A and B are shown apart, each in its own frame.
Chain A
Amino acid sequence: MRFRIAEDDAALAGAAAALLAKEATAREIRAGWPGGDTGRVDAVWRRLAAIGALGTLVPDSADGPGSGLGLGLDENALVPLLVELGRSGLPVPAVETVAVGAPLLAAAGSPHLAEVLAGRLLLTASLDGSGLVPFGQRAPLLVLRADDGLRLYERGELALEPVESTDGSRASARLLRPPDGGGQLLCTAPEELERAWQRGVLGTAALLVGLAERMIELTVDHVQQRRQFGAPVGSFQAVQHALADAHLAVRFARPAVLAAAWSQASSGTAAEAASETAAGADAAVVTSMAKVLASDAARLVARTAIQCHGAIGCTTEYDLHLYAKRAWALAAAWGGPAAHRELIARHLHLPTVEMIRDRIEQGAGFGPGRGPL
Chain B
Amino acid sequence: MDLRWSAEEQEFRREARTWLEANVPRQPLPSGDTRAGFAAHLAWEQRLFAARWSVVSWPEAYGGRDATLWQWLIFEEEYYRAGAPQRVTQNGIFLLAPTLFAFGTPEQQQRLLPRMAAAEDVWAQGWSEPGAGSDLAAISSRAVRDPAGGGWRLSGQKTWTTRGAFCTHLFGLFRTDPAAERHHGLSYLLLPLDAPGVTVRGFQRLDGDEGFAEVFLDDVFVPDADVLGGVDQGWAVAMATTGSERGLTLRSPGRFLHTAERLVRTARAHPEPTGALRDRVVQGWIDAQAYRLFTLEQVTAISEGRPVGAESSLNKLFWSELDVRLHETALELLGPQAELDSPWSRGFLFSLAGPIYAGTNEIQRTIVAERLLGLPRK
Which stretch from A42-50, A186-194, A325-333, A345-353 is at the chain B interface? A345-353
Interface 1/0 per residue, B38-65 and A, CB below 8 Å: 0000000000000000000000000000
Q: Please provide the chain A residues from 313 to 356 with a CB less than 8 Å away from any CB of chain B in the complex.
A: 338, 341-342, 344-345, 348-351, 353, 355-356
Which stretch from A19-27, A30-38, A130-138, A254-262 is at the chain B interface? A254-262
Interface 1/0 per residue, B8-51 and A, CB below 8 Å: 01100100000000000000000000000000000000000000
Complex-state Cα separation, A236 to B377, whole angstroms: 8
B300-A3 in contact (CB<8A): yes
Which residue on chain A has the smallest CB distance to residue B264? Answer: A348
A372-B269 in contact (CB<8A): yes
Contacts of A239 in B (CB 8 A): 375
Interface 1/0 per residue, B365-378 and A, CB below 8 Å: 11011101111111
B286-A293 in contact (CB<8A): yes
Interface status of A271 (Cβ within 8 A of chain B): yes
Interface status of B283 (Cβ within 8 A of chain A): yes
A2-B343 in contact (CB<8A): no
Which stretch from A121-129, A158-166, A272-280 is at the chain B interface? A272-280
SS of A interface (majority) = helix
Residue of B4, B262, B270, B294 ringed by the most chain A CB atoms within 10 A: B4
A277-B335 in contact (CB<8A): no
Which residue on chain B has the smallest CB distance to residue A236? Answer: B378
A341-B1 in contact (CB<8A): no
Which of B3, B10, B13, B337 touches A368 (beta carbons < 8 Å)?
B337
Contacts of B4 in A (CB 8 A): 1, 266, 271-272, 274-278
A3-B369 in contact (CB<8A): no
A241-B362 in contact (CB<8A): yes
Contacts of B374 in A (CB 8 A): 220, 224
Q: Please provide the chain B residues from 88 to 135 with a CB less than 8 Å away from any CB of chain A in the complex.
A: none
Interface status of B222 (Cβ within 8 A of chain A): no
Interface status of B250 (Cβ within 8 A of chain A): no
A350-B294 in contact (CB<8A): no
Interface status of B203 (Cβ within 8 A of chain A): no
In the complex with contacts A220-B374, A243-B369, A259-B293, A372-B5 CB distance below 8 A: no
A280-B292 in contact (CB<8A): yes
B300-A4 in contact (CB<8A): yes
Contacts of A278 in B (CB 8 A): 3-5, 292-293, 296
Which stretch from A58-66, A91-99, A176-184, A227-235 is at the chain B interface? A227-235
In the complex with contacts A255-B294, A368-B269, A247-B368 CB distance below 8 A: yes
Interface status of B70 (Cβ within 8 A of chain A): yes
Contacts of B235 in A (CB 8 A): none
In the complex with contacts A220-B375, A231-B378, A243-B373, A280-B294 CB distance below 8 A: no
B1-A370 in contact (CB<8A): no
Contacts of B314 in A (CB 8 A): 247-248, 251-252
Interface status of A237 (Cβ within 8 A of chain B): yes
Interface size on B, residues (CB 8 A): 68
In the complex with contacts A5-B1, A271-B4, A223-B278 CB distance below 8 A: no
In the complex with contacts A244-B368, A248-B314, A356-B286 CB distance below 8 A: no
Q: Please provide the chain A residues from 152 to 179 with a CB less than 8 Å away from any CB of chain B in the complex.
A: none
Q: Please provide the chain B residues from 264 to 316 with a CB less than 8 Å away from any CB of chain A in the complex.
A: 264-273, 275, 278-279, 281-283, 285-287, 289-294, 296-297, 299-300, 304, 311, 314
Complex-state Cα separation, A344 to B278, whole angstroms: 11
Interface status of A311 (Cβ within 8 A of chain B): no
In the complex with contacts A241-B365, A371-B269, A256-B290 CB distance below 8 A: yes
Interface status of B181 (Cβ within 8 A of chain A): no
Complex-state Cα separation, A344 to B3, whole angstroms: 21
Interface status of B195 (Cβ within 8 A of chain A): no
Complex-state Cα separation, A355 to B273, whole angstroms: 9
Contacts of A262 in B (CB 8 A): 1-3
Which residue on chain B has the smallest CB distance to residue A276? Answer: B5
Contacts of B13 in A (CB 8 A): 276
Contacts of B6 in A (CB 8 A): 1, 275
Which of B2, B282, B344 touches A348 (beta carbons < 8 Å)?
B282
Complex-state Cα separation, A371 to B70, whole angstroms: 34
A366-B373 in contact (CB<8A): no
Contacts of A272 in B (CB 8 A): 4
In the complex with contacts A371-B268, A372-B265, A6-B366 CB distance below 8 A: no
Complex-state Cα separation, A163 to B297, whole angstroms: 42
Complex-state Cα separation, A351 to B5, whole angstroms: 33
A350-B281 in contact (CB<8A): yes
In the complex with contacts A241-B366, A277-B4, A372-B262, A292-B378 CB distance below 8 A: no
B343-A359 in contact (CB<8A): no
A287 to chain B, nearest CB (A): 12
Which of A243, A286, A345 touches B282 (beta carbons < 8 Å)?
A345
Which residue on chain B has the smallest CB distance to residue A223? Answer: B375
In the complex with contacts A275-B4, A350-B267, A373-B375 CB distance below 8 A: no
Which of A252, A279, A353, A355 touches B3 (beta carbons < 8 Å)?
A279
Interface status of B317 (Cβ within 8 A of chain A): yes
24 CB contacts below 8 A, A to B, read A1-B5, A1-B6, A1-B300, A2-B1, A224-B376, A234-B375, A244-B369, A248-B314, A248-B317, A251-B294, A252-B287, A256-B289, A256-B293, A275-B7, A280-B289, A293-B290, A348-B264, A350-B268, A351-B268, A366-B335, A368-B334, A372-B265, A373-B337, A373-B344
Residues of B within 8 A of A (CB): 1-7, 9-10, 13, 70, 262, 264-273, 275, 278-279, 281-283, 285-287, 289-294, 296-297, 299-300, 304, 311, 314, 317-318, 333-335, 337, 340, 342-344, 362, 364-366, 368-370, 372-378
- Apart from A240-B373, A373-B337, what are 17 other A-B pairs with CB-CB below 8 Å? A1-B2, A216-B373, A223-B375, A231-B376, A231-B378, A255-B290, A265-B1, A277-B4, A278-B293, A292-B283, A292-B286, A345-B278, A350-B281, A359-B271, A373-B266, A373-B340, A373-B342
